[in-house]
Copies of this chain bind each other. A is one copy, B any other.
Amino acid sequence: MSPSATRQRLLAAARAELVERGHAAISLRAVARRAGLSHAAPKHHFHDRAGLLTAIATDGFAALTVQLRRVRGSSPEEHLARLGRSYIDFGLASPALFDLMFRPSELHPADPALQAAQAGALGVLGAAVSHLAPADPMSRDVPALALISWALVHGLVTLSRNGALRPAVGSGADDADDAELARRLGDLFSAYLAQALTREPPPPAP
């Protein structure tokens, strides 16, 4: 709870280990060593290994939320499209953190702080979609559309980092192409979504 200095030091060390050692092969003893503490120091602040990871994931959701809140768009459609792009960028910029955030088996999924942070991120998407089509006859499906949009961008991040999109992009593709394809697919989806909601002719393809 109280952000004691050593607790913060442990968290910083854990984040560093996370980004450089990659994925969740993160070791309590290694972060303690990096923080200059004894090997059981983490146990005191975060009861478990899962407890430490939960704290990091919670911070991750908070960071995602503020990043999404910063997004602006001249129209509701553009706003949603930029939100999706921002979400994709977040996932691709810090893959290890993003991975961890959606790995409930290694976290304490019932942790209230974690759930609150998670709900905060969804709230941004929900608000954006509800602004998109407030008077549309299908507006009762609007939360559903928020979830669909979320699932879409989330899936794009996952597949992109798996290289699963690569066969579609060509033989000489690299990671950057993969990421760019993910962004373009997100844009394309929001174009389709806007078209379906306004029932106007589709926008020119990118």
Contact = CB atoms under 8 A, between A and B. Distances in A.
A109 B162 CA distance: 8
A192 B144 CA distance: 12
Contacts of A174: none
A75 to B, nearest CB: 19
A106 interface: yes
Contact of A104 (B109, B161, B165, B205): B161
A189 interface: yes
Interface string A150-180: 1111111011011111011000000000000
A58 interface: no
Tell me the interface secondary structure of chain A in the complex: helix
Contact of A188 (B99, B141, B168): B141
How many chain A residues sit at the interface, stated as a range, is 35 or more
Contact of A192 (B154, B193, B202): B193
A185 to B, nearest CB: 6
Please give the count of copies of this chain that the complex contains: 2
Given A159-B154, A193-B192, A147 B105 contact: no
A105 B99 contact: yes
A148 B158 contact: no
A163 B168 CA distance: 31
A195 to B, nearest CB: 6
A29 interface: no
Contacts of A143: 168
B188 A148 contact: yes
Interface of A: 22-23, 25, 99, 102, 104-106, 109, 118-119, 122, 138, 140-141, 143-144, 146-148, 150-156, 158-159, 161-165, 167-168, 181, 184-185, 188-189, 192-193, 195-196, 199, 202, 205
- Across the A-B interface, give the 7 residue pairs with the lowest CB-CB distance, nearest first: A151-B155, A155-B155, A23-B105, A154-B155, A151-B156, A196-B196, A152-B152
6 contacts: A22-B105, A23-B105, A118-B164, A147-B159, A151-B185, A155-B155
